[in-house]
Homo-oligomer: A and B are copies of this chain.
Amino acid sequence: MAIQANPWLRKTPELKIEMNLDENLDSEPESSLVDPNTHMESFRQTRHNRRTELIEDYVELIADLIEDGGEARQVDIAQRLGVAQPTVAKMLKRLATDGYIQQRRYRGVFLTDIGMQLAERSRERHHIVESFLCAIGISVETARIDAEGIEHHVSPETLEAFKRFVARGGSSL
């Protein structure tokens, strides 16, 4: 049932809940609600990011594996992502049709130019996010995990701010 097992949601100080349904019927909104279209655009953007993040994860990981060991085998990708090998095989096929990688049957996986560019951008962004989290005092283990999820949702503007922050050596935190 509910989520009580998830520590990410557990730490909330105290949850006071009052809905006051009767009072806001005619009183002026005082809402935390923005304009519906603006709201929608945020969600649309987030959904779009969710579609691309898996691709970025794969391409980034493939680049790392190639750099580290000269090749990116499906079994290694599967192991590091924590999924089964056929899942990786299917995804690689998609990456190939999308033009990010080249595959030769029963041979290795290679990044195309486009794939390498995407990998480079992802790695840079990933590194900035992780460094930023460390700079504000997050432990390295948590920073690594959070960065894995956060990196895909960081806009260029925010990334720039993170970078500036890290460059200044953090702040008075």
Q: State the A residues within 8 Å of B (CB).
A: 1-13, 15-17, 19-21, 24-25, 29-34, 36, 38-50, 52, 57, 63-70, 76, 79-82, 98-100, 114, 116-118, 120-121, 123-125, 127, 133, 136-139, 141-146, 148-150, 152-162, 164-165, 168, 171-173
Copies of this chain in its oligomeric complex: 2
Contact B121 A139 (CB under 8 A): no
Contact B9 A7 (CB under 8 A): yes
Q: How far is the CA of A137 from the CA of B76 in the complex (A)?
A: 40
Tell me which residues across on chain B come within 8 A of A127, comparing CB atoms: 32
Contact A136 B149 (CB under 8 A): no
Contact A45 B145 (CB under 8 A): yes
